[in-house]
Amino acid sequence: MSNAKTLSFVHRFEPATETGRPPLLLLHGTGGDEADLIPLGRAAAPGSALVSPRGQVLENGMPRFFRRLAEGVFDEADIRRRADDLADFVEEARAAYGLAAPIALGFSNGANIAAATLLLRPEALAGAVLLRAMVPLSTPPVADLAGKPVLLLSGMVDSIVPAENASRLAGQLRDAGADVEHAVLPAGHGLSQVDLTRVAGWVQRQWTLAAPRSVSAA
């Protein structure tokens, strides 16, 4: 079910069915749309509110979240602009739907814009799951990501994201203070059941850490 309001991005919204679960911001890969990651979000974070925007850039008719000049070569000025736009949309969505700051769950192009948004507008996100992400900005801005949890899942035989690049992104996020868990899975650029299992376990840990502790009476 989608209860989307008219905001700056075309999007889908699914309300939470359990209180206290962290909302997810779902960010699709190239050629996807606002429906693409809904099943992954439901499976990885049952009960959480889901907000899934459609990228506003078209590449040969395929939606993306920012422009690229060639495979693996990004238009960094456009990344900065689009990260601001996405962060502003998150503020709109939080006000419209009464949400806490979401955890971004992005795949490929969606993971790259999530990483850029973390670095450029850290207040917009509570953390991020970055699936097959690479460094979005050659010179990362100074950012304070202290305590923000990040799960970065790379593919061992990913033909698009070099291993060194993914490791460099993990290092940039750690240097900014994020609590980064980086795993290299036996996979390519596409997602696998192992990704879902890792993401679901990680999201559950974030929910457990955020859940209020009960205090026994003395």
- The pLDDT score that the predictor gives to residue 209 is 79
Other CB atoms within 10 Å distance of the CB of residue 189: 16
Return the CATH architecture of domain 11-210: 3-Layer(aba) Sandwich (3.40)
Burial bucket for residue 112 (CB in 10 Å: 0-12, 13-18, 19+): buried
Q: Which residue shows structure tokens 């690049």?
A: 165
pLDDT digits (tens, 9 = 90+) for 2-33: 568 899 999 999 999 998 899 999 999 999 99
The predicted-structure confidence for 70-113, as pLDDT tens digits, reads as follows: 888 899 999 999 999 999 999 999 999 999 999 999 999 999 99
pLDDT greater than 60 at residue 46: yes
User: Residue 213 pLDDT more than 70?
Assistant: no
Structural contact between residues 156 and 132, judged by C-beta atoms closer than 8 angstroms: no
* pTM listed for this prediction: 0.94
**What confidence score (pLDDT) does residue 83 get?**
98
Take residue 49 and report the two structure tokens written for it. Answer: 């509110």
Model confidence pLDDT, tens digit, residues 169-180: 999 999 999 999
What are the catalytic residues? 108, 158, 189
Instruction: Answer yes or no: are the C-beta atoms of 28 and 38 closer than 8 Å.
Output: no
Domains of the chain, residue spans: 11-210
| pLDDT computed for residue 211 by the predictor | 67
* Partners of 155 in the β-ladder: 185
